[in-house]
Amino acid sequence: MPPEIAIRGAGPAGCALALLLHDAGRNVRLYERRPRAAAAGGLRPLALSYASRLILERAGAWRALATTPIENIQVSQAGQLGRTHIAARDADVPALGYVIDYAALTAALAARAEAAGIRIEYGSETDAGAAPGVRLVVHAEGTAGDASEKRYAQDALLALVGAEPCAGTTAYERFTADGPLALLPLEGRYAVVWGTRTARASQLAAAPATEFLDALSQAFGARAGRFVSVEGRAAVPLVLRVRAARTEERAVYIGNAAQTLHPVAGQGLNLGLRDAWELAQAVRAAPDPGETALLRAYAERRRLDAIATIRITDLLANLFLGTNPLAGAARGLAMIALDACVPARRFVARRMIYGASALP
């Protein structure tokens, strides 16, 4: 039977939406440009929030995922005083987040979708909306070509680093004058997401391993132990890309197709999964899933969460750049104050976990 809802892109947002809608009895199909055999790219560590866990649980996909929990996050700035420690108990959650590699997440979600009986057409660039009977096309294909774009003066240098002692359940975000440097625990090692000047990122991606590990130790310090090995290095450009409108006639944009963010604070997919969750709630029992008023109401409900997350992420990407000592001291004082104030830590942690939307 032809689908009533066509989803372009079997990335994490598209697959999660397909599972939620299929579970509600809707007839959905995924159209994926990649061939079935092609893996979904190189290393890209993702920190999923506790809210994303809840969404993926409700999509029936969580149990199949092998994730590393984050129970503590240490935030600091290089060369300046100030540090904040946020723990899972600050937000009343079992873990602040869960780390998994993008390719593993995508493969597991696609396998779950197919096991549930959802058809995925791989190698498909066809106009999914042209199929007879389709009443709603969901754009979940990642990049939105016709969105406004800001290129950051940073690339993300990615790497998987072995440390002594092994990584546990603490993640680190260290703001340096060049950009934010995150260490995420992933199966005993640290996945590094290092925002730094474009030329430096390329140079460090190609440098001998010892040179890279020395540079990482210098930028990060010793709080995570000694870095002893590295693999999977790559530099990826960073952009902020936001679509002016989330809906068109019988079409809606979710996840990165609606907004692509800087990876600082790991918000992009978490926001995209909240898009998928709220769209599924709007559409699940609707007589016509592509009705204009329904899509407009969905877009309106997503506005605050999206704008707030985009602004916070963009602010964090730029806030710590440069070496002005007065600005550094002010940021340090803010971090010390946050560290000392339990309600403020709780507010920040829950805002990063759940976004500004209604809790799932």
Ligand X SMILES: Cc1cc2nc3c(=O)[nH]c(=O)nc-3n(C[C@H](O)[C@H](O)[C@H](O)COP(=O)(O)OP(=O)(O)OC[C@H]3O[C@@H](n4cnc5c(N)ncnc54)[C@H](O)[C@@H]3O)c2cc1C
Binding footprint of ligand X on the chain (CB under 6 A): 8-14, 31-34, 40, 44, 46-47, 102, 124-125, 140-142, 156, 158, 193, 236, 255-257, 263, 266-270, 272
Residue 139 near residue 5, CB atoms below 8 Å:
no
Nearer to ligand X, 243 or 331 (CB): 243
Nearer to ligand X, 226 or 311 (CB): 311
Nearer to ligand X, 76 or 256 (CB): 256
Whose tokens are 């893996």? That residue is 39
Element containing residue 83 per DSSP (H, E): strand 83-87
Distance CA 257, CA 31 (A): 14
CB under 8 Å to 246, separation ≥6 — which residues? 252, 253, 254, 258, 298, 299, 302
Nearer to ligand X, 39 or 330 (CB): 39
- 226, 2, 1, 191: which is closest to 100 by C-alpha? 191
Q: What residue number has its CB nearest to ligand X?
A: 11
**In angstroms, what is the minimal distance from the CB of 90 to ligand X?**
19
Which two structure tokens, joined as six digits, stand for 45?
């560590």
**In angstroms, what is the minimal distance from the CB of 38 to ligand X?**
9
Whose tokens are 């190609």? That residue is 206
DSSP string covering 143-196: --TTSEEEEEEEEEEEEEEEEESPP-SEEEEEE-SS-EEEEEEETTEEEEEEEE
**In angstroms, what is the minimal distance from the CB of 336 to ligand X?**
26
**In angstroms, what is the minimal distance from the CB of 265 to ligand X?**
8
**In angstroms, what is the minimal distance from the CB of 81 to ligand X?**
27
How do 28-32 and 119-122 pair as beta strands? parallel
Distance CA 310, CA 149 (A): 13
Dihedral (C-alpha) 281, 285, 291, 293: value to the nearest 10 degrees? -60
Backbone φ and ψ for 73, nearest 5 degrees, come out as -130, 130
Nearer to ligand X, 36 or 303 (CB): 36
**In angstroms, what is the minimal distance from the CB of 75 to ligand X?**
15
Nearer to ligand X, 26 or 29 (CB): 29
**In angstroms, what is the minimal distance from the CB of 329 to ligand X?**
29
Nearer to ligand X, 179 or 268 (CB): 268
Nearer to ligand X, 80 or 170 (CB): 170
Nearer to ligand X, 82 or 268 (CB): 268
> CA separation (Å) from 277 to 25, 161, 271?
15, 34, 10
Task: Work out the angle at residue 21's Cα, subtended by the Cα atoms of residues 95 and 246, and round it to the nearest 5 degrees.
Answer: 85
**In angstroms, what is the minimal distance from the CB of 57 to ligand X?**
16
Whose tokens are 């592509």? That residue is 290
